[in-house]
Amino acid sequence: MTDFNDRQRGEEAKFAFDEENAFKIAARRNRLLGAWAAGLMNLTEEETDAYKKAVVQADFEEAGDEDVIRKLLGDLTAADCDVSEADIRTKLEECTVEARRQLMSES
């Protein structure tokens, strides 16, 4: 019985660890996306910092990435940047890889 309980605790700990890492990767990815979009919109350093935080906050609106994509597309369109939804999705994937790489290199 102890082996079963140990295994269960181990699986719960791994699940919690994986969820925490997924959250950290998503937040870092969103900051990277925010920096990219801010660069396209020619924002100042202070505006860029605020915008990166706004992109991270946008991810809490609903599950998945659609809220972030919608925010970026709306903001970039409003700023007359020539960026499509496909461009944003591609950049989102690139930033996910980079965020994961950065997080793993810190560990």
Considering the chain, what is the average pLDDT of its residues? 91
Is the pLDDT reported for residue 2 higher than 80? Answer: no
- How far is CA 15 from each of CA 8, 68, 93, rounded to the nearest angstrom? 10, 25, 23
What is the per-residue pLDDT across 7-20, written as a single tens digit (0 to 9) for each? 788 788 787 787 89
- Residue 10 forms part of a structural domain: no
CATH of the domain at 70: 1.10.790.20
Q: 61 is in which domain, residue-wise?
A: 26-106
DSSP label at residue 60: T
- Residue 83 forms part of a structural domain: yes
Contacts of 58 (CB under 8 A, 6+ apart): 30, 67, 68, 70, 71
- Domain tally, the chain: 1
What is the per-residue pLDDT across 26-57, written as a single tens digit (0 to 9) for each? 999 999 999 999 999 999 999 999 999 999 99
pTM, full prediction: 0.85
Is the pLDDT reported for residue 1 higher than 70? Answer: no
